[in-house]
Structure 1
Amino acid sequence: MQNKGLVRIFAILFGLVCVYQLSYTYFTYTKENEAEAYAQQKYPETVEDYSKLRETAERDYLDSIGKEEIFAGITYNYAKNKELNKGLDLEGGINVILQISVKDILRGLANKSKDPSFNQALLATDEVQKNSQNTYIEDFFIEFEKIPDAKLASPDIFANKNLSDDIIYDMTNDEVKPILRRKIDESVTSAFEVLRKRIDKFGVTQPNIQRLGESGRILVELPGAKDVERVKKLLQSTAQLEFWDVETSQELGGFINAANLKLRQELEADTKKDDGEVEEAEKVLDSAQVDTTQTSEDAAIENLLEDAEDSTVTEAQVNPINDLINFPLVPGALFSANVKDTAQLGAFFRRADIRALLPQNLRYVKFAWSKGKKDAEIIDFYALKGNRDNEPELSGGVITDASQTYDQTNNVVVSMQMDGKGAKKWEEMTERAFNQRSQIAIVLDNIVYSAPGVSKGKISGGRSEISGDFSVEEGKDLANVLRAGKLPASADIIQSEVVGPSLGQEAIDSGVMSFAIALVLILIWMIFYYGKAGAFADVALVVNILFIFGVLAGLKAVLTLPGIAGIVLTIGMSVDANVLIFERIREELARGKSQVDAIKDGFNNALSSILDANITTGLTGLILLVIGTGPIKGFATTLLIGILTSLFTAIFVTRLFIDGYGKNGKELAFSTPVTKNLFKNVNINFLKKRKMAYVISGIIILAGVGSLFTNNLDYGVDFVGGRSYTVRFAKDVVPTAVEKDLVAVFESAQAKTLGAKNQLKITTKYKVNETGEEVDAEISNKLFEALKPYLTDGLTYDEFSNGDEDKQVGIMRSMKVGPTIADDIKQAAFWSVLGSLIVVFLYILLRFRRWQFSLGAVAAVFHDVLVVLGVFSLTWKFMPFNMEIDQAFIAAILTVIGYSLNDTVVVFDRIREFFNEHTTWPLDKNVNGALNSTLSRTLNTSLTTLLVLVAIFIFAVPLRGFMFSLIIGVLIGTYSSLFIATPIMHDTVRKVGLKTKEKDTEEKK
């Protein structure tokens, strides 16, 4: 090896850099352990809610020592920002994908147009999007074009005064489209920046926020975040701050009575239907219908109002509104009501026929509920002075600064400062409210936070404040949201994952355990098989691990549980390079070469196979990195880093140790007495057995494909959409009994044991097409009620939904995937597998210059994938671990592809070498000779890889399905390289060769 000194210096410097990068993780780890010990001492387990108190104490301790120097100017705060990032599955936290509503943006750009063509296209687009791979805007253009003579540049749509600088009336649809695309992109960028500003102030370390393509989706990862509801409010709040005058007209009392009477008449009509008086009831209902556009019916409204004023209601009568409302709690409110009745009352007042009962001068009134105090059972209902455009006199766009502070009674409030224009308008509004002795409602996202009166005249300077029974955290979040600005459109959570911190710690423990055991097994095996040379390979392997973690820390990559699996798998596969080298050296020694020459030739001869094998695996990893998301991306990152570092350590670091040992004439056997003659005189006729292998493979594939059509696969929510919960119970539970109770509530639900018998994975498609906090809360409540018989007595809903850290029960992990994004994940999975096959086919064609080699390799890969899918289809119903088909499974399939190709390419490389060396040998002899010469390497690599996978399978419970697919893949990949890829290559080469000979004979004749 040339330039040994340079390689040695580079390896040492690179190692020191990796140690330096990892030192930050060590510093944060030691300080956080100190904080944990301090909190445990301060709050023992005998204290009520000790876990929450410990959490606060740990945070306070770390805040207090955050700026203290630990070593050489490094503080905890600095080290925390530089440490190795851990993913949600290792640290716990929240991961969401937000869909910024392009529909809302379009409606905003069109000034909320009521044009029939525009709204028809929006409705059609909503329907198409459920099964479409296009972006919302592209589908909108398609649906709009279907409408005859529809023009985007219509004055009633996009050729309005707000877009007059960009869109003019005589533009064609094709001219308007790029402008709308740009405007939408600007709005999504604005939303991204608003969310980024909110998250920056949220208080979690190492948050991750990124745009996902051009779809209007934004990924947000908050490792360590625990308050799910707080995060959802922070992310989904549009921060639509508005200031409205409160309407206190006495006529509203008459309106409420009229609305109550109308609804009561409907109830009486329903009762008459039950008594057989259907026709009379319909007449009553028809007479009560009011169309505000027909002035001829104004008298009907007046009569109904008079009837409401004159009517006397006995206690026996049912009053749909009056029975649910009380006197208002605060001045200015219309009435108050119980929180549980607000949905029903709100629905009444949104009805067009009820609103039609409003007096003419109050037709544009806007109704809104108050925020209410924490845990309040009663909240207030306000009527706000509206207008034709339904826009407030003053909006939150004038806010220049906001901060959490305290009022004179030491209650938390949010203080705001307005710009000059806003200050002037605020002065006008407060002066009017003072003169009229009325209130001004401060409304955020359609909720009245406060409605203060003005007691000392107009307010100058543009300062105001919001009160609302806030906690300090709520006040800070609201101020943060207002400073960041409002979202340009609503943001729906279409995919979410919440992982509890205890589950994350368990994942770390199982990952470290599997990692340690796999490493020890490989180190022992290498020494057992190759003696001192194996020990040198072990040192290189440890250096390789240091490099992998150092590079991960330096690149600020995120370490996930699949990422740990990728590292451990890389360790198993990196042994392959050393095995290839050592096997070639043993061959050269057997030919009688000196040790120096054997080492030199062994490294040189193995290099081609090592590079080809790692490049093919690297190509599949690269496709995973580009197309994959979340855990797949983490797996691909560690796999690619591991491939690069293992190449360096196997080719250069191992060589340094071996050359250094032998420079003084010391002999290195590259074997032990037990393994010295192993596989030495093997002479198996592999090609003779190929027909039997074809039959066996054919039977397995047919059985698997048949099962795929009849038994199908166990698709996870990643691919079909829905909600998934990992729920832990205090005692063991029977999944079939739990599932029965869940089906009674959700109609469709599954419950499967996940790891221990007291932990279930529960999935449901209930309301899979609906989004919003209300739906999430409804499903979570239903889940709690259905599982109550199996939960600890006294466990509250909050403890259940957030995972009780003290009792280690409740929802430990939850995931939601909308049907649209599930469809996208399926498409990405398909293209990633197909893309990897195409890329590898072309690479092998380029390297071996014969399409027969590419055909054999790809046929073997198809064979392996079909076998793995078939095994999963045949066994998922009775296996005692989770075998769902999800994104991690696709990563496993691509890894199987990479491994199979790795094995096949090494065999093909040796076959090509035999072709060149033994030109006079017949084809069968060359192929069989090459297969026998690589048998030791093939079995050695497969065994070490299997040792790794089995270790992870045993100890990493959440990854068992993932590991099972890899174990099957390694076994079948080893088989296919010998009995599928090579025979197919052989048969096609022979056929082409025979045809060529026949053609030559005919030409001679």
Structure 2
Amino acid sequence: MHQSPFRVAIILIVALLGIVFAAPNFLPQQVRDSLPGWLPKPGLVLGLDLQGGSHLLLEVDRAGIVTQRLSDVRRDARNVLANQNGIGNIITTDEAKNAIYIELTDPSQKEQALTALQSIQNTVNNSLFSTGTGVNELAFGELPDGRLSVTLTPEGITQRMSSLVAQSIEVIRSRIDELGTTEPTIQRQGDTRVLVQVPGFGDSTRLKNIVSQTARLTFHMVYPGLTADQAEAQGLPAGTMIVPSQDGGRELLYEDVALGGESLVDAQPSYDPQRGIPVVSFKFDTRGAVTFSEITSANVGQRFAIVLDNTVITAPVIQQPITGGSGQISGNFTTASANDLAVLLRAGALPASLNVIEERTVDASLGADSIRAGLTAGVVASVLVVSFMVIAYGLWGVFANVSLVLNVILIFAALSVLGSTLTLPGIAGIVLTIGMAVDANVLIYERMREEQRAGRTPLQAINAGFERAWGTIVDSHLTQLVAAVVLYFMGSGPVQGFAVTLGLGILTSLFTSYTVTSYQVNLWYKRVRPKELKIQHFRFIPDGTKIPFMKISRYVIALSIIMSVVSIGAAYFKGFNLGIDFVGGTAIEVQHVGGPADVGRVRELLDGLELGEVQVQGFGTPEDVLVRVQAQEGGQSADQVAVQKVQQALAGDNYEVRRTEAVSGTVSGELAWTGTIAVIIALACILIYIWFRFEWQFALAAVTTTSHDIIMTIGLFSITGLEFNLSSIAAVLTLVGLSLNETVVVSDRIRENLLKYRKMPLPELIDLSINQTIVRTSLTQFTVLLALVPLVLFGGEVLRSFTIAMTFGSLVGMYSSVIVNGPILINFGLKQKTDEELVAKKEKPADGASV
């Protein structure tokens, strides 16, 4: 109970900093703007699900890059061999092996050809992490039949992809900055992907077009005197190509780029008063202006094509030389599309094609509803937990509640300092932390009561309560932290937000539940000096219970086996109601304006759209409907068209789109695999930790018990038809930590009693240990349920399957930790220590207090 001044100073400083960093996030914007400059600005950002906006995950088209590079290498090889060295050759391309093969017309020139080909070698640097050396992009060789080979190296392809992603990020950032949006998130994900999140920008279709369009602008002369159809029938003239035009026709153009878009220095939307149409005015740099003047001067009366991403936008006749270095692009533009094209041209072309593999859009009104739902759930859970702690522990409950309040403040402060994004699952993580945070205080208080019943003085009981509970608190919190860490690194998006808040809550509760509570108890004890500690006022299970858990364990194990078999059977034969995360496709949440939605009418409206499998179901309130459309065969563009068809079909019946979510098959397969790996990694990490802290029997029993809980929870998804999505994986991993929390406490008491009661039969000892800890287990489990139930009732439909699974899993976790874990320990061969082993144990330093 000694409190050093340094320790007190740390508590006060941490509490003060927590309030200073957290408070601005809850102040009105005008108040925040008036704060002194030296105060920290709010760094907490609301996620798209809370404020609305668009989310895109883009991937560089690897196949397209490889095809383009093979084409470039083929052209360079032909140029260096035939044009520069006069070596005759025939070149073929093998895209399956990323190679070109060169057959020489004169085999005696092989050495000369190999030497010449070395000149096209290229070294690729990652522009972000360039070391100056680079990676060779090409490998040269010779086939058994005498042909020469030039192959793109895997390292070169990977490095080029990485470099292209870095360049693409800068172009995307320039484009989005041109739109004037605030606080966009543009992040690299791996070597081939870019994450784009734009809060407050609800038009995902427009954002997708602006972000993912390559916008490569080139100028070509039109081949005179011959149409595209005529050229195709007679054979293309050398050096020409046929390019589709925006109006649905085709043009015959010279392949050579007369002028490139890289020479542009400005592009602005404007209006042609003579024709009365929107156009895009552009201006070249000095070099481009000179080239443009030369081209137009030499080709008066000829047609000049402006090509954007391999489509002819316009091909006007050059009426006179254009010497000012400026011009205009006309086409089938609206005011908005002319503005968007100007944005693309000003920002520059993307260095590679980007495919949209994941798309999510949330309407601002739905975000506001999510905030209300999260706050309602949080307030109700807080009131219930705080009230229960006061009812159960009186003044000691007040001490725990003060620590709990500071705990929540520190979570928000940490999120603000880190600049983290708060999502709806993140709010769920905070609410869940509220339920779990009092666990450590209950452990301490129950230990104090036990020590006092054993004859200790109040001061001795208080000291023993804090000291002997600390080891178990650390063990139980670290097992939960393992699950949170795995969630963060293996999850994505909102799941990571949940993992961050859960992980921070675990760390801050370690500080507040022990240090802050002990400080309050110390102040109270010095002031009151009680002769007896009156800690608990209410309990579910009386002290001194002697429930024979081991005698009924065979029936319980049999029941668990039956339920596990049923769960596995349901998963195998019935399967799951897989969400968009795992099967791909598009989910569209719509809301009927003016009354309850008619699900049957919605089905009727969508039946004739020929979109494949379309599922329509009620969602949340009577006004809301969820439409799920299978992934379309045409890829992202076809998915986008499908969404537009659904919107148009429902618009006439007063349905408004509130949220869209599109996931490609590539991402859905990755998420399913990553989720499975995450659960396995979490179990393996926990097995190692518990093996290190306890003995191997405890570790294997804990993992077996937790696996039982996972199977039961997954069975719930299959049997009830709850949607199984990425949040479900988060629920399963969180249950791993919660279940082990209970298991660790019981195991820790069994380990302690093994040293204390050496001659007691093991089944009786396990019964004793469970009965000694069941008061604490029932109380902490009840506080967790007090936090989870409001999430189920008020957290909103998006979190429904997640919170139901958490509630069910927490009950199953308590049941398995109390009843199933003990028999498994016996079956794994746990035995009493011999006298020699006990002597050896006492000679070693203590490895931590236990409860």
Bucket of the pairwise TM-score, normalised by the shorter protein: 0.7 to 0.9
AA matched with 1:757: P
Deviations 1:3-24 (A, max 9, x none): 5433333333333333333354
CA contact (8 A) 1:750 1:763 kept: yes
Per-residue deviation, 1:405: 6.8
Query: SS of 2:528's equivalent?
Result: coil
Per the alignment, residue 936 of structure 1 pairs with: 775
Partner of 1:904: 743
Residue 847 in structure 1 maps to residue 710 in structure 2: no
**Is the Cα–Cα contact under 8 Å of residues 181 and 198 in structure 2 kept in the other structure?**
yes
Residue 806 (structure 1) aligns with: none
SS of corresponding position for 1:687: coil
* Structure 2 partner of 1:889: 728
Paired residue for 2:83?
none
Equivalent of residue 381 in structure 2, options 496, 508, 518: 518
Corresponding residue of 1:223: 199
**Residue deviations 1:567-614 (CA, integer Å, cap 9, x gap):** 111111111011101111111222232222211110011101100000
Deviation at 1:467, TM superposition (A): 5.2
Q: Does structure 1 residue 429 correspond to structure 2 residue 393? A: no
Q: Distance in 1 between matches of 2:387 and 2:305?
A: 74
Given that 1:530 and 1:670 are in contact with CA atoms closer than 8 Å, whether structure 2 keeps it comes out as no
Q: Deviations over 1:418-446 (max 9, x none)?
A: 4454333222112124xx23443333223
How much does 1:634 deviate? 0.7
The question of whether the paired residues in 1 share the 8 Å contact of 2:56 and 2:208 is answered with no
Residue of structure 1 equivalent to 2:180: 203
SS for the counterpart of 1:758 is strand
Q: 1:960 aligns with which of 783, 796, 800?
A: 800
Contact 1:562/1:631 (<8 A) preserved: yes
1:746 aligned counterpart, secondary structure: coil
Q: Give 1:202 deviation, angstroms.
A: 3.2
1:301-316 to structure 2, matched below 5 A, reads none
Q: Give me the whole-angstrom Cα distance separating, in 2, the residues matched to 1:83 and 1:405.
A: 39
Task: Go from structure 1 to structure 2 and tell me whether the alpha carbon gap of 1:529 and 1:155 turns closer, same or farther (over 3 Å shift).
Answer: farther
Q: Deviations over 1:689-727 (max 9, x none)?
A: 110111111111122222222221101111111111111
Match of 1:926 in 2: 765
**Per-residue deviation, residues 500-541 of structure 1 (Å, max 9, x unmatched):** 111111010000000000000000000000110101111111
Q: 2:614 aligns with which of 741, 749, 767?
A: 749
Aligned residue number for residue 564 of structure 2: 701
2:210 pairs, out of 234, 249, 264, with: 234
1:983 aligns with 2:823: yes
The answer for the alignment partner of 1:17 in structure 2 is 17
Task: Indicate conservation of the 8 Å contact 1:617/1:895, yes or no.
Answer: yes
Instruction: For 1:781 and 1:725, locate their aligned partners in 2 and report how far apart those are by CA, in whole Å.
Output: 11
Question: Deviation per CA, 1:419-478, whole angstroms, max 9, x where unpaired?
Answer: 454333222112124xx2344333322344455655563415x44444568677656644
Are residues 510 and 658 of structure 1, via their aligned partners in 2, closer, same or farther at CA, if it must alter by over 3 Å? same
- Aligned letter for 2:767? N
Shift of 1:547: 0.5
Query: 1:732-765: CA deviations, max 9, x gaps?
Result: 3454564465455333121121111221211121
Given that residues 357 and 636 in structure 2 are in contact (C-alpha distance below 8 angstroms), is that contact kept between their aligned partners in structure 1?
no
Structure-2 change in CA distance of 1:470 and 1:11 (3 Å): farther
- Superposition pairs of residues 400-479 of structure 1, within 5 angstroms: 400-402=265-267, 414=280, 416-433=282-299, 436-451=300-315, 457-459=321-323, 462-466=325-329, 477-479=340-342
Instruction: State whether structure 2 residue 54 is matched by structure 1 residue 85.
Output: no
Query: How far apart, in 2, do the equivalents of 1:566 and 1:145 lie?
Result: 54
Whole-Å Cα distance in 1 between the matches of residues 235 and 539 of structure 2? 101
Between the aligned partners of 1:643 and 1:518, the Cα distance in structure 2 is 18
Distance 2:432 2:50 in 1: 18
The amino acid of 1:980's aligned partner reads V
Q: Name the counterpart of 1:134.
A: none
* C-alpha distance in 2 between matches for 1:676 and 1:496: 50
2:675 is matched with 829
Aligned-residue offset at 1:660: 0.8
Residue matched to 2:847: none
Distance 1:927 1:677, change over 3 A: same
Query: Are 2:715 and 1:862 aligned?
Result: no
* Structure with the larger strand share: 2
Matched, 1:645 2:511: no
- TM-superposed CA distance for 1:624, in Å, is 0.5
1:397 aligns with 2:262: yes
| Counterpart for residue 109 of structure 1 | 69
CA distance, structure 1, for counterparts of residue 48 and residue 720 of structure 2: 30
**Per-residue deviation, 1:865:** 0.8
Kindly indicate whether residue 543 of structure 2 is the aligned counterpart of residue 567 of structure 1. Answer: no
Distance 1:480 1:654 in 2: 57
Match of 1:128 in 2: none
Q: Which one is further off, 95-104 or 391-400? A: 391-400
Q: 1:841 to 1:421 in 2, by over 3 A?
A: same
Q: CA deviation at 1:490?
A: 1.2
Q: In 2, distance between residues paired with 1:197 and 1:212? A: 19
Partner Cα distance (1:888, 1:700) in 2: 24
- Give per-residue Cα distances to partners, 1:778-829, cap 9 Å, x unaligned: 312432465467x23xxxxxxxxxxxxxxxx422111111111111111101
Q: Specify which of 227, 230, 233 is matched with residue 357 of structure 1.
A: 233
Q: Which amino acid aligns with 2:375?
A: V
RMSD: 3.5
Measured after TM superposition, the shift of residue 679 of structure 1 is 2.3
* Aligned residue in 1 for 2:842: none
Cα gap change, 1:673 to 1:159, in 2 (>3 Å): same
Q: Specify the code of the residue in structure 1 equivalent to 2:634.
A: E
Contact 2:758 2:832 in 1 (8 A): no
How far off is 1:186 after superposition? Answer: 1.7
Distance 1:846 1:357, change over 3 A: same
Rounded to whole Å, the distance in 2 between the matches of 1:968 and 1:714 is 18
How far does the alpha carbon of each residue in 1:76-104 deviate from its partner, in whole angstroms, 9 at most, with x for none?
A: xx95xx44211111111111111110112
**SS of equivalent residue, structure 1 residue 747:** coil
Given candidates 808, 813, 819, the residue that maps to 2:659 is: 813
Which residue identity is paired with 2:429? G
Contact kept? 2:631, 2:639, Cα under 8 Å: no
Q: Secondary structure at the match of 1:989?
A: coil
CA distance in 2, matches of 1:406, 1:572: 61
Q: Distance in 2 between matches of 1:425 and 1:2?
A: 84
Where does residue 809 of structure 2 map in the other structure?
969
Where do 4+ consecutive residues of structure 1 move more than 6 Å?
A: 113-118, 144-148, 153-156, 171-175, 405-412, 469-473, 991-994
**Aligned equivalents of 2:719 and 2:477: distance in 1?**
32
CA distance in 1, matches of 2:288, 2:68: 22
Q: Which residue of 2 aligns with 1:96?
A: 56
Q: Cα gap change, 1:671/1:478 in structure 2, threshold over 3 Å: closer, same or farther? A: farther
Tell me, in whole angstroms, the C-alpha distance in 2 between the residues paired with 1:618 and 1:360: 67
Partners of 2:94 and 2:100 within 8 A in 1: no
Partner of 1:521, secondary structure, is helix
Shift of 1:397: 2.4
User: Alignment partner of 2:709: what SS?
Assistant: helix
How high is the sequence identity, in percent, across the aligned residues? 31
Normalised by the length of structure 1, the TM-score is 0.73
**8 Å Cα contact 1:109-1:163 kept in structure 2:** no
Partner Cα separation in structure 1 for residue 122 and residue 651 of structure 2? 60
Gaps of 5+ in 2: 76-89, 104-110, 124-135, 143-148, 838-851
State how far apart, in whole Å, the 1-side matches of 2:100 and 2:524 are.
76
Which position in structure 1 is the counterpart of 2:133? none
| Counterpart for residue 724 of structure 1 | 587
For residue 833 of structure 1, give the secondary structure of its aligned residue in structure 2: helix
Q: Show the counterpart of 2:787.
A: 948
1:682 CA drift (Å) = 0.9
Counterpart AA for 2:48: L
Report the equivalent of 2:418: 555
* CA displacement 1:339-391 (0-9 Å, x = unmatched): xxxxxxxxxxxxxxx75235865993544434xxxxxxxx585735x23xx34
* Alignment counterpart, residue 719 of structure 2, candidates 863, 874, 883: 874
Letter paired with 1:752: Q
